[in-house]
Chain A
Amino acid sequence: DQQVKQNSPSLSVQEGRISILNCDYTNSMFDYFLWYKKYPAEGPTFLISISSIKDKNEDGRFTVFLNKSAKHLSLHIVPSQPGDSAVYFCAASALGGGGADGLTFGKGTHLIIQP
C-alpha cells in the first residue's frame, strides 16, 4: 500500500514554461515533505522541503505547495530549463511526530524539458 503516490510517470514541458509535478499522500502523520531530483547513475539530490504547518515554500525557480486537507503537494519549476530534465521524487517524513527516521518515497516522475 503506497503511502506516497506520484501518479504521472513522465511529464514533458517546453523550455521556459512552468513544470508542475504532483504528489499525493495517505498518511496523516507525515509532517515534513521533501523533493529530490535524480540524474541517471547518480544519487537523489535534495531540492526543497516544506513543513506541514506551511502551505508554500519558495527557493529560486522552485516552489512547493502543500494542501494538507487534500493530502496533496506540488512542485512548480518556473521557468523550466534543459538541466531540469531528471526524475523527481516526492518524499515524506513522520519524524516530527515521533515516527520513523526513514523517508517514504513515491515512484518518481520523469520530467523532460523540450527545447
Chain B
Amino acid sequence: LAKTTQPISMDSYEGQEVNITCSHNNIATNDYITWYQQFPSQGPRFIIQGYKTKVTNEVASLFIPADRKSSTLSLPRVSLSDTAVYYCLVGVAYSSASKIIFGSGTRLSIRP
C-alpha cells in the first residue's frame, strides 16, 4: 500500500475552511484515496473516498489532481466539533474487504 505524508497537526478557528493535504507519491493505478476522522475516545469514522478529480458529500470535499500524487481534504466552515484526528489512507483495500493501514494522522484543533 502507498505511503502517505500529512501534517502532524493544524489549528484553525470556527467558521473557517480547513484544507488538509496528503502526499502519496507512489500511488498505484488501482488505489483509492480515503479519509477517516477520529474523535477523542471514539473509533475512526469514514468520511470520504475518491479516485480522481473532486468528490463532495455532506461532510467534506476531496480534491485530487490529475497526477493523483496528492489529495486535499476540505472541511467547510469548521466548528469546535470538528476537532479530531484525520487520517489519509491510500490503497485498493477500501473497495474490497481488507485491513486498513493507518498512519499518524493530522491532529486538527479548532478554536472559538
Chains A and B belong together in one complex: no
Chain B residues with CB under 8 Å of chain A are none
